[in-house]
Each structure stands twice: as structure tokens, then as C-alpha cells.
A and B are shown apart, each in its own frame.
Chain A
Amino acid sequence: MITWLGFAWTVFAAATVAALSTTLRFMFPNVLFEPKTSFKIGSPDTYELGKVDTRWEDKYGVWIIRSPEGIYALSTVCTHLGCKPSWMDSEQKFKCPCHGSGFYKSGINFEGPAPRPLERFSISLADDGQILVDKSKKFQYEKGEWSNPLSLLAV
């Protein structure tokens, strides 16, 4: 025997399940933005000595810097809360717009609240002479990982 109250509860439960299922649908987006973790960025000659190259910051989220020791790829994610700092050429530093953290060209943090340096990504030379950056391998200074040969491409 179906009572009105039982019917009402059934409708309520069905509506709740339907609403929750549409929420679950959001977990599976139609378009997924997943940039490739490893990519080639041209030959080392195209990077000027002492310059911070911001060509790839929007596409891949890396800064490429050529220092006298070699070329390294810095992550564009601030180590404080994950905003994207901007390279300020006249001040020669990365400066975060969210809480004012500052980083040297090397990635070392020196001002503001950032507790640790920017991360570096694996960088090597591909067979065709182009630079190959692999974002799936990262190197953290505070763990002593910047001495890893993959973190710096000697040229």
C-alpha cells in the first residue's frame, strides 16, 4: 500500500539523487586542459646569456634562463600560495602579485613570505639538438636537488 508520505519521500529521494548526479557530472569535464609535461623548446642558441626567457610562461608555465653555468627551467608557480609571479627586468627579480614574494633570477626566494625557492624542472638536450624540458621531474633547492645534472643544461 503506497502512502502519501511514502510517495513524498520517494520523490524527494529521487530529486536529491538526480541533483547529486548532475553534480557528479562536473567531475568529468568535456574539455580537459592538460598541457604536455614534456616538450621541446628550440635549440640552446636561441636563448640569450643572462636573460630570462618568458616565451613559454603562458603555454608551458616555465621560465628558461641561460646563466654562465648553463640553462635551467624555472617553475612559474610561487612557492607561497601558487600565484604566478612576473619577471621584472629592470629590477632583475620575479615578483608575486598576491603577497609580494620576490625571487632572484636563480629562483632563490629573498623577500616576502615565500618559504622556499622556485622549483626547477628537468632539462636536457634531445637527439635533434633541441632543449627538452620535462615538468614531471622537478628539483627543489631546499632538498639539495639542484646539484642533479638534469636540473641544469650545461652549454
Chain B
Amino acid sequence: MIEVFKEAVNQFSSPVAIFTTGILLLALFVALPALMTSPLVAGAIGLLTVAFFIFGYFDPHFGEMVARPDNIPIVGLIFIFGFFTWYAMRKAVLNDALIAAGKPPKEKEESEEKVMVFPYLIYIEFVVALLYAAGLVFWSLLIKAPLEDPANPALSPNPSKAPWYFLGLQEMLVYFDPWLAGVLFPTIIIVGLCAIPYIDNDPKTSGYYCFRQRRWGITAFLGGFWLLWILLILMGTFLRGPNWNFFGPFEEWNLHKVVPLVNVNLSEYFYLKWLGIGLPKNWFLRELPGFTGLAAYFWVIPTLLEKTVFKKLQERMGTARYHILILLALLMLALPIKMYLRWAFNLKYLVAIPEFFFNI
């Protein structure tokens, strides 16, 4: 019975199945926030997660993964982030109900006084920082740092894993060229997060938790944070094994697991498979389908949206802010789109110019 369950979990575990499940869960969460954050449902989800980890702990493979000193923070972050996501969303849902009933949000009832960031907030943050530092000291006393042998350029451990906080980037590198996943995307993530207060400078909901008035912003944030960062870290930690192959949580890491991953560039699909002619010699002509697709994605879509569904949004935000918002949103969506293209069509690169190392 236990073996059947483990086998079923292993069979289910593929990048596409897990990522799609994540999207569906998030959609359910933002579609029915009141139900999903109710103590009963949220408590059941939390207990099921705990039960899964306790059950998994007794599996020789998964137990070793969970108890590994490297991986302890990752098991912790599931519960910490889960709790705080629930906590904020619960407060938002309760406020939404108050606002819908024509009452002011809870925070207004608690205090109408305005306080300064310094010293009130900074003071709290300082105390929390002290507590964290003390916690880290105890942690380092309890668990030995998982250090390995001195670095050797002739030896790459198999699997070679980045530190846990970079595993999201490493997972992105499976689908993208190094200069995109390693340089451009991290820069855009940081710049994009910094830009949020300038893109959305509407003060109407500041000072209290709410969801209904901030539906798109919160959904986009949860999607980017949970699916494109945390989920990728979890997959990289627990489910990537030797040769960066994908393994189920209860599957032994077999060095010789064979996974067909033969990848094909868009140019090869276009010229060889669909047109049935050879690849053009000229690289620009060869990559024209990819360039066309990218131009449509980054230029036609924003322009069309501007004229139709987002007409009001564009008027409210102004041209510059609107285009920055759409560009950031399209870049963010590009990651899952490329991942699905890889899973569905083994598509390697939309634009592949190895002549001067430019691949998208």
C-alpha cells in the first residue's frame, strides 16, 4: 500500500505535472481566497504537508534528502512562507468582507494614528534581526556546516547544485542561455521589484490588508514568488538528481537513468520539418522565424492590448509606465512559456546563433 502510494507519487513527478499543479493551486487560491484561507481548509493543507514530510522522512531516499544539512532551510521555508502567505491573505479576506459590508477595514479600528517608519518600524525590525542572529548562532552550534573538499576545476560533483537560494536560477538555466538566466533575468527581477512602487503608485489601499482591490497585483506577486522562485527551488533541491535528471521524491538516484531530452531549435522545426528545405546558410535568415515570434510577443501583444482590453489602464498609467509594466509582465511570463515549450515540443531555443553565442 505504501509502496503503491510512493510509486504513484514518483510516476506523477515530472516538471510539467508539478508546475501545472502549482498553477492550478494558485488559481484556486486566488479564485476562492475566503474558502482557501478558512481555518479548516488552510489547516488541512498545512497538516497534509506536515504528514507528507513525516511520511517521507521514513523513506530511505527522501529521508536523507530532508535531513541533509543543506536542505533544512528549504523544508523550513515551505512552512514559513506558507504560514505568512496564509496570514496575509486571511487578513485581506477578513478586511474584504468588512469593506463589502460597508465598514472600514480592521486596521482603521485598531488605530488611526500615523506613525513614522523611524523609529517605530526600524525598532521592530532591529529586534527581529537580533533574534534571527541569535537563532543562527544556535543553528550553527547544532548543525555542522556542510562544507566539501576544496574546489577543483577538473571535478564537477554529480549532481552539481548551487546554494539553495540560487537553485531557482539553476533551474532557469536548464531552459535558457547562461547570459539570460544568469545575468539578464536576475537583473530584471531585482530592477522589476524595485520598480513596483513606481509602477503602481495608487495610494488607495495603503495601510491595510486587502485582496479584492489589489487582485491582479497580489496574484502576479504570488505567481512570481511561489511558482517562479520557491517552486523552482523546491524542484531543484528535492527532485533534481545526477546529470540534472528529474527524479520522484521517493525514487533512488540512478546515475544511469535515461531520459529522452533531445532538443530541437525553432529554426530546425521551421525549415527542416515544416518547409522541408535545408537550413539557410545565413544566420539572420535562419533565425528569422524566432525573431518574428519575439517581435510579435514583445511588440504586437502590448500594442494590441493597449488598443483593446488595457485601453483604460493605459490612459490611467500613461504610456511610459504602461509599457514598463507590460514589458515586465511579458518577461515574467516568458519563463513559464519557454518551460512549457520545452516540455511540450522539446524546443531548445527560439533564436539560436551559436556563431556569436546569442540564444533565446
Contacts and interface: CB of A to CB of B under 8 A. Distances in A.
Contact of B359 (A59, A112, A115): A115
The SS class assigned to the A binding surface is loop
B262 interface: yes
Given A81-B173, A112-B174, A115-B354, A97 B359 contact: no
A113 B177 contact: yes
A58 B156 CA distance: 11
A86 B156 CA distance: 9
A97 B156 contact: yes
B176 A98 contact: no
Interface of B: 153-160, 170, 173-178, 182, 242-245, 255-256, 258, 260-263, 348-349, 352, 354-355, 357, 359
B355 A112 contact: no
A43 B79 CA distance: 61
A57 interface: yes
B154 A142 contact: no
A84 B156 contact: yes
Nearest to B155: A84
Contact of B263 (A57, A97, A112, A143): A112
A83 B156 contact: yes
Contacts of B244: 96-100, 112
A57 B154 CA distance: 7
Nearest to A88: B256
List 5 A-B pairs, minimum CB-CB distance, nearest first. Answer: A100-B244, A116-B354, A97-B158, A111-B261, A142-B354
Given A84-B153, A96-B244, A100-B261, A115 B174 contact: no
A113 B355 contact: no
A90 B261 contact: no
A112 B348 CA distance: 8
Contacts of B155: 58, 84
B280 to A, nearest CB: 15
A128 interface: no
Interface residues of A, number: 29
B153 A96 contact: no
Contacts of B178: 80-81
A12 interface: no
Contacts of B354: 115-116, 142
A81 B182 contact: yes
A113 B262 CA distance: 10
Contacts, number: 82
Contacts of A98: 156, 159-160, 170, 173, 244
Nearest to B174: A99
Interface string A62-97: 000000000000001000110111101011000111
Nearest to B357: A115
B175 A113 contact: yes
Contacts of B359: 115
B173 A113 contact: yes
A91 B177 CA distance: 25
27 contacts: A58-B154, A58-B155, A61-B153, A76-B154, A80-B173, A80-B178, A85-B156, A88-B256, A95-B243, A97-B156, A97-B157, A97-B158, A97-B160, A98-B173, A99-B170, A112-B174, A112-B244, A112-B261, A113-B173, A113-B174, A113-B175, A115-B177, A115-B349, A115-B357, A116-B354, A116-B357, A142-B354
B175 A100 contact: no
A9 interface: no
Contacts of B156: 83-86, 96-98
Contacts of B177: 113, 115
A102 to B, nearest CB: 7
Contacts of A100: 174, 243-245, 261
Contacts of B176: 113
Most A CB contacts (10 A, CB to CB) among B245, B260, B352, B354 go to: B354
Interface string A109-122: 01111011000000
Nearest to A86: B158
A98 B174 CA distance: 9
Given A100-B174, A143-B355, A91 B242 contact: no
Interface in A21-39: none
A29 B37 CA distance: 57
Contacts of B352: 115
Nearest to B258: A91
